[in-house]
Chains A and B, each alone.
Chain A
């Protein structure tokens, strides 16, 4: 399996960077994470992979809850393992972590603020609770909350010290659609504000809606990293599929078959489905062909640039 790199542009504002250098983790004979190297900077990144791909193990190593069997995980140069100081800059919302059901959300977040030794823990707690829109229920015991409300409370607890890096393991689990949209908007805002946000998910639509940048784990290895649309374009061994509609689809189909970058054309009722071996060559050639035949291209839509198709190619390869 080859790793395809399409790193996003450098962040506009200086922020924390999480580095993994040749990180592996094994349990006996089972290799959970295999030689992963990645750098996470500001913005929202989705950690994507099927169940058992090693996402949680990787997140636990990033958060200092698991020692790498080989390699090193550092946050701004500091190792995360056996180093509680990293939690000044890092917040974690793990998948399994339960919340103290005997506390209210306010008490829970306030306790987090006090444990961080913040100068004004009450104000920090109120700000974090407002961020996740839990003001109305903040004085009720957490034991009475829905799963989504507990999840938001945990996010508030992880955000109370305004960390530069936030790691979330399957953050949308148990949330209803409205809460999901709210959480997505929150992650967007944090990413836009220069925070380094990494969230894991095995649900493609979630990742696609929250982040264009992905780290794709398959069978313990980092299969791809970067913007998934760019990753798709780098997959030159797979033809790109376009949907084309024009003033005369049949004439355009005949003309396209003579074009070297086109490997197949299918004429359908709602236009042409074109397979192109070379993304750049095809998109440059199409306007010239249309112009030469006096045709007008009404629409050109890439059909397999979705995260789903990128993911299925990576997992299937």
Chain B
């Protein structure tokens, strides 16, 4: 593990906001276990729990907390200067941080999604959800890490994207789905395990290419912005 990854992971798990990660995946698990144990038809609870809660809320919110935490929190409290005053090319800072963020998000979200998928249908659906959520973790985290460097309010803007763009506009304006990471994840999971529980609105090529473009594009943006990182203009 590189020193940047080590500091990032220690910082992430050492902050109280990490505790925010736990309730949502736990809720997902509890609802899936309850529905299954009460004998409710998976066709009734599956889409609501797996997509409505798991992919539309748990995945992006966990990615938002983690993605803005690995760099944005360090920028907020000033500790980022410690890493930036080292002779490291900026990609050697962004990539380890992104890897930690995507890894932590993937583990936090994929495990409960896997369990919920198994309970709803099959191991194959569980695996499909875990794989698609991991890809989504990378795309979301790349987006949120870049957001930390282009705005001082990355959490607010991230929430606007998740709640307004993906959650609200996605239901009314079909075109917005082409720019929705949530839709890519649903499409990829449905492609790996076609079950009828997931309804995809974008094609597999669009989902694959756009996921890759978002991950690569926002990572490149983050690296470029970090090269020109300015300390806020105090004039004391």
State the A residues within 8 Å of B (CB).
Answer: 27, 30, 32, 51-57, 60, 63, 65-67, 82, 84-88, 90-92, 94-103, 108, 111-112, 114-117, 157-158, 202
Contacts and interface: CB of A to CB of B under 8 A. Distances in A.
Contacts of A157: 82
Interface in B76-129: 77-79, 81-90
Determine the interface band of chain B, counting residues with CB < 8 A from chain A: 20 to 34
Contacts of B228: 67, 82
B7 A94 contact: no
Contact of B86 (A60, A115, A202): A115
A60 B230 CA distance: 8
Given A67-B228, A114-B3, A56 B235 contact: yes
B11 A100 contact: yes
25 contacts: A30-B235, A53-B235, A54-B235, A57-B235, A63-B85, A65-B81, A65-B229, A66-B231, A82-B227, A82-B228, A84-B84, A84-B88, A84-B90, A87-B85, A92-B85, A96-B234, A97-B79, A99-B79, A100-B79, A102-B14, A103-B10, A108-B82, A111-B6, A116-B87, A158-B85
Nearest to B10: A102
Interface in B177-236: 227-231, 233-236
B33 interface: no
Contacts of B83: 115
A25 to B, nearest CB: 8
A98 B234 contact: no
Contacts of B231: 60, 65-66, 94, 96
A254 B81 CA distance: 63
Contacts, number: 95
A202 B89 CA distance: 35
Contacts of B82: 97, 99-100, 108, 112, 157
A56 B173 CA distance: 49
A95 B88 contact: no
B48 interface: no
Nearest to A108: B82
Contact of A52 (B77, B84, B227, B236): B236
A101 B231 CA distance: 21
A158 B79 CA distance: 13
Contacts of A86: 87
Given A57-B235, A98-B77, A66 B230 contact: yes
Given A97-B79, A97-B81, A88 B233 contact: no
B236 A111 contact: no
Nearest to A27: B233
